[in-house]
Amino acid sequence: MTNDLGTKIDTYLTYIKENSGLSPNTVSAYSQDLYAFRRFIEAQSTSVIQSEDIERFLWGQKESGKSIRSCARIASSLRQFYRWIIQNDDQAIDPMIRISIPLTESPHPVILTTTEINQLLEAPDDNTMIGIRDHAILETLYGTGIRVSELLNLQKADLDFDLKMLHIRTQQERWIPINHPALVWLEKFCHDVRPKLVLKRLNQESDVLFLNQNGKPLSRQAIWQLIKNYRRKSHLTKTVSPETLRQSLASQLLQNGADLRIVRMVLGKKPIDAINYPTLTQKQVIIGYNRAHPRN
pLDDT at 246 over 70: yes
Span between the terminal Cα atoms of the chain, in Å = 47
Strands 174-177 and 159-160: unpaired
Q: What is the pLDDT of residue 270?
A: 67
* Domain annotation covers residue 93: no
Residues 19-32, mean pLDDT to the nearest whole number: 86
CATH of the domain at 170: 1.10.443.10
- The domain tally of the chain equals 2
Q: What is the pTM of this model?
A: 0.67
Q: What is the mean pLDDT of the chain?
A: 86
Shared domain check, 118 and 82: no
Q: What is the pLDDT of residues 252-269, one digit of tens each?
A: 998 888 888 888 888 887
List all residues 6 or more positions away from 277 whose beta carbon is below 8 Å from its beta carbon.
261, 271
* Domain annotation covers residue 190: yes
* Domain annotation covers residue 100: no
Burial of 140 (0-12, 13-18, 19+ CB in 10 A): buried
For 199, phi then psi, to 5°, come to: -65, -20
What is the domain range of residue 82?
A: 2-88
| Contact of 183 with 164, CB cutoff 8 Å | yes
Shared domain check, 69 and 169: no
Shared domain check, 124 and 269: yes
Shared domain check, 230 and 125: yes
Per the rule left: phi > 0, alpha: psi between -120 and 50, beta: everything else, 43 is: alpha
Shared domain check, 136 and 15: no
Shared domain check, 126 and 81: no
Least-confidence region, from 95-104, 105-114, 141-150, 194-203: 95-104
pLDDT confidence band for 20 (50 / 70 / 90): confident
Task: Single out the residue in 37, 70, 88 at which a domain terminates.
Answer: 88
Q: For a pLDDT cut of 70, what percent of the chain falls above it? A: 91
Residues in the chain, overall count: 296
Q: What is the pLDDT of residues 198-226, one digit of tens each?
A: 988 765 678 999 999 999 999 888 998 99
* Domain annotation covers residue 98: no
